[in-house]
Amino acid sequence: MSVVSVPARPLRRSPIDGGHGVAADLSFVREDMARPLPLDRTVVSDAAVVLKEMSWRRRFGLKGPAAESWLATHHFHVPSKANSWVVADGILVARLATSEFLVEALEAGQARVAVAARELYAHDRPLAVYPVPRQDLVVELQGPALNDLLRQTCSVDFAPPRGLRASDAGPLVLTSMIGVAVIAIPRELSGRRELTLWVDPSYAHYFWTTLLAVAVDLGGGVLLDQPHGAYGDHT
């Protein structure tokens, strides 16, 4: 009896993969995304300011007159105000302007977001719902020198408004950092400030290396996001 082998799922590529130019055996895989090992100095979590590349998280975008009702039908929590976000059940939903949305799984919800994305791209979706490709470079910034980094790269004050300390909802900012348009979400988790950025992948290498250079000058660097510790593990 012949054995039919099942081909492995095709790997997604990190937006910064091409810039680093690393070989496959120097990458690790998470959520079917091959991610390069940073070639620059890595740091511990309590360093002055750290960068984490989170592009592996599942996400999709959509817009159109029926986009909000489509999300509600699929039991996603939707923010009511323009340029705001909400996190529920481990999934972030951001409203960009009025009728465009970004949906991304955080630590949980990866499978649920992947299933919804497949349905969104199916032929039988509502005519008034339009998928928006999201292949962003996603970077998380944190550390006591975060404000110092922002002063050198962006003119926006990302300090949370007074009285707004919730980690599950808040405003988002559409702005520019080092000459690149970004979606920015500030959060405060357990007293620690964190800023997440979504960047057009065509600027990924420039953005990552430039931001990293500033972080290194401040005594920081890359914080490896590798919870499973398996390099080259494609399962």
Residue 223: the pLDDT is 82
Average pLDDT value for residue range 220-235: 54
For residues 47 and 104, membership in a common domain is answered with no
pLDDT at 201 over 50: yes
Q: Last residue of some domain: 112, 134, 156?
A: 134
pLDDT at 181 over 90: yes
For residues 35 and 76, membership in a common domain is answered with no
For residues 173 and 61, membership in a common domain is answered with no
Q: Are strands 84-88 and 91-96 parallel, antiparallel or unpaired?
A: antiparallel
CATH number at residue 147: 3.30.1360.120
Average pLDDT value for residue range 61-76: 95
Between residues 45 and 81, the one the model is more confident about? 81
State the residue range of the domain holding 166.
Answer: 12-55+136-226
For residues 35 and 141, membership in a common domain is answered with yes
For residues 143 and 47, membership in a common domain is answered with yes
For residues 35 and 63, membership in a common domain is answered with no
| All residues at 6 or more sequence positions from 52 whose CB lies less than 8 Å from its CB, including other chains | 139, 140, 141, 142, 222, 223, 225
Residue 112: the pLDDT is 94
For residues 69 and 25, membership in a common domain is answered with no
For residues 142 and 109, membership in a common domain is answered with no
Residue 164: the pLDDT is 46
In Å, what is the CA distance from 121 to each residue of 60, 114, 116, 118, 174?
10, 11, 9, 5, 26
- Alpha-carbon gap, residue 137 to 214, rounded angstroms: 18
Total domains in the fold of the chain: 2
For residues 47 and 140, membership in a common domain is answered with yes
Percent of the chain residues past pLDDT 90, beyond the cut: 54
Name the pLDDT band for 80 (thresholds 50, 70, 90). Answer: very high
Name the pLDDT band for 2 (thresholds 50, 70, 90). Answer: very low
Specify if 235 maps to a domain. Answer: no
- Alpha-carbon gap, residue 208 to 185, rounded angstroms: 17
Between residues 148 and 20, the one the model is more confident about? 148
pLDDT digits (tens, 9 = 90+) for 91-144: 999 999 899 999 999 978 889 999 999 999 988 888 899 999 999 999 999 999
Specify if 106 maps to a domain. Answer: yes
Comparing C-alpha atoms, which of 171, 147, 154, 168 is closest to residue 84? 171
Average pLDDT value for residue range 3-15: 54
